[in-house]
Amino acid sequence: MKDYGYQQVLIVTDPFLMKSGLVEKVTRVFLHNKIKSHFFIDAKLVSSLEIVK
């Protein structure tokens, strides 16, 4: 990732994924590559068939 010149990332997630530990696993990869992580954890799951139509 560092080869592409990335310096920081924005991770958009919901509270469930944050608590599950999945975001932490991803963040470790960024940290290992010296890439800063910023979080937006108030994403709402929108899974309505009406939206797709």
Boundaries of every domain in the chain: 2-52
Q: Which pLDDT score, from 0 to 100, does residue 29 have?
A: 92
Is pLDDT above 70 for 49? no
Q: Are 10 and 38 in contact (CB under 8 A)?
A: yes
pLDDT digits (tens, 9 = 90+) for 16-42: 888 999 999 999 999 999 999 999 988
Q: Closest Cα to residue 40, out of 9, 17, 11?
A: 11
Q: Is 23 exposed, middle or buried (0-12, 13-18, 19+ CB in 10 A)?
A: middle
pTM value? 0.66
Can you tell me the distance from the alpha carbon of 29 to that of 2, in angstroms, rounded to the nearest whole number?
11
